[in-house]
Amino acid sequence: MDIKEQIKRLKKEKNAVILAHTYQPGDIQDAADYVGDSYGLSVQASNTDADVIVFCGVRFMAETAHILSPSKKVILPAEDAGCPMADMINGDDIVKLKEKYPDYLVMCYVNSTSEIKAHSDVCCTSSNAVKIAQKLPPEKGILFVPDQHLGSYIMEQLGREMVLWDGFCPTHVRIQPEMIKQARELYPDASILIHPEAPRACRELCDQVLSTGQMVQHVKTSETMEFVIATELGLIHTLQRERPDKTYHPLFSGLLCPNMKKGSLEQIVSALEGTGGEVITLPQEIRQKAKYSLTCMLELS
Ligand code: SF4
């Protein structure tokens, strides 16, 4: 049987829903029920009556889905798919940081482990980060973890100082100002869209700084017909599906996250059959505390 048919049959049999992040390979995006950003996908899955969630992405994403849907079985098909940025801060680091700044609030990017979320006062996505920070009491200091570049973007937008952890996304920091300048010369009619995980010197040369979800919305509704995409290349597949009439240029061909490319259709089959992938579980205390920081985000957004 064709592998796509096999996935469809197993999905029905197990009452499962398949989620794919926009950085996943195109064939996985095409096999998924929902394609989008990590937090949005977890919310969508929590609103379904599925018993099983297969999350094609990296570990922190599947953990977030588990936090929001503890009664569903959440499976990460590529069990070795982690996020190097999320792993740049651990529980000991954040405890020490909080000891150093005892009166500060901790704001964490959703691209973080559940342990870090559990130590945080509020979470944010790259779409709502500026809005969330703006709503935190002005008399309070903010510790922002783990991405220094998203943190710097928030500070630039609000003119508000924060203490930034020095984490970074190894994929987005490969973007160089020269690449943007070159793209501008090559594609003078294109609008250049960049993710806030990229360094400031690059963001400043682009037309729009947008999260992946915002990029999809922007491309769908904008009158512009040509774009340079300065984020992980998987997004171009999503954009082509949404607006096949427009033209997309990757900023450069190496803008790939190796962890996001670890999945395969075969792994989805194994996850659904119960012979592969990892079923995500978290200690109850971590899950409940992490949920608190996500709930605070929802209340402020
Ligand atoms: S693109 Fe960056 S932030 Fe996203 S999963 Fe890969 S390493 Fe982590």
Which amino acid type is present at position 36? G
pLDDT surpasses 80 at 105? yes
- State in Å: Cα 151 to ligand 1 middle: 16
H-run or E-run covering 143? strand 142-145
Ligand 1, atom 6, lies closest to the CA of: 257
Q: Which residues of 28-53 are buried (b: 16+ CB within 10 A; e: fewer)?
A: bbebbbbbbbbbbbbbbbbeeebebb
H-run or E-run covering 53? strand 52-56
pLDDT of residue 261: 96
Closest CA to 235 of 53, 218, 160: 218
What is the best residue among 83, 148, 251 to mutate for testing ligand 1's pocket, by most ligand atoms within 8 Å of CB? 83
pLDDT of residue 76: 98
- State in Å: Cα 131 to ligand 1 middle: 22
Which CATH superfamily includes the segment(s) 172-256? NadA-like (3.40.50.10800)
Class of domain 3-82+260-281: alpha beta
pLDDT surpasses 80 at 1? no
Tell me what the mean pLDDT of segment 253-270 comes to: 96
pLDDT of residue 255: 96
- For the chain, give the mean pLDDT: 97
* CATH classification for the domain delimited by 86-168, as one of 3.30.750.210, 3.40.50.10800, 3.40.50.300, 3.40.50.970: 3.40.50.10800
pLDDT of residue 301: 86
- State in Å: Cα 98 to ligand 1 middle: 25
- Cα 32 off chain centre by: 17
pLDDT of residue 63: 97
Ligand 1, atom 2, lies closest to the CA of: 169
Edge-first strand order for the sheet with 142-145 is 122-124, 105-109, 142-145, 163-164
56 lines ligand 1 (CB under 6 A): no
The answer to whether 72 touches 55, Cβ cutoff 8 Å, is no
- State in Å: Cα 171 to ligand 1 middle: 7
H-run or E-run covering 73? strand 73-76
pLDDT surpasses 80 at 277? yes
Atom from ligand 1 closest to the CA of residue 170: 7
* Whole-number Å distance between alpha carbons of 88 and 292: 22
Percent of the chain with pLDDT over 70: 100
Write the pLDDT tens digit of every residue in 22-56.
999 999 999 999 999 999 999 999 999 999 999 99
Angle between helix 265-273 and 3-14 (nearest 10): 30
pLDDT of residue 289: 97
Write the pLDDT tens digit of every residue in 131-161.
999 999 999 999 999 999 999 999 999 999 9
Write the Ramachandran bin of 159: left for phi over 0, alpha for psi from -120 to 50, otherwise beta. Answer: left
Percent of the chain with pLDDT over 90: 99
Which two three-digit tokens encode residue 114? 């559940």
pLDDT band at residue 68 under the 50/70/90 scheme: very high
- State in Å: Cα 111 to ligand 1 middle: 8
Ligand 1, atom 8, lies closest to the CA of: 83
81 lines ligand 1 (CB under 6 A): no
pLDDT surpasses 90 at 235? yes
Is 99 strand, coil or helix?
helix
- Which residues belong to CATH 3.40.50.10800 in the chain? 3-82+260-281, 86-168, 172-256
What is the best residue among 21, 38, 56, 58 to mutate for testing ligand 1's pocket, by most ligand atoms within 8 Å of CB? 58
pLDDT of residue 50: 97
pLDDT band at residue 260 under the 50/70/90 scheme: very high
pLDDT of residue 297: 95
Write the pLDDT tens digit of every residue in 188-213.
999 999 999 999 999 999 999 999 99
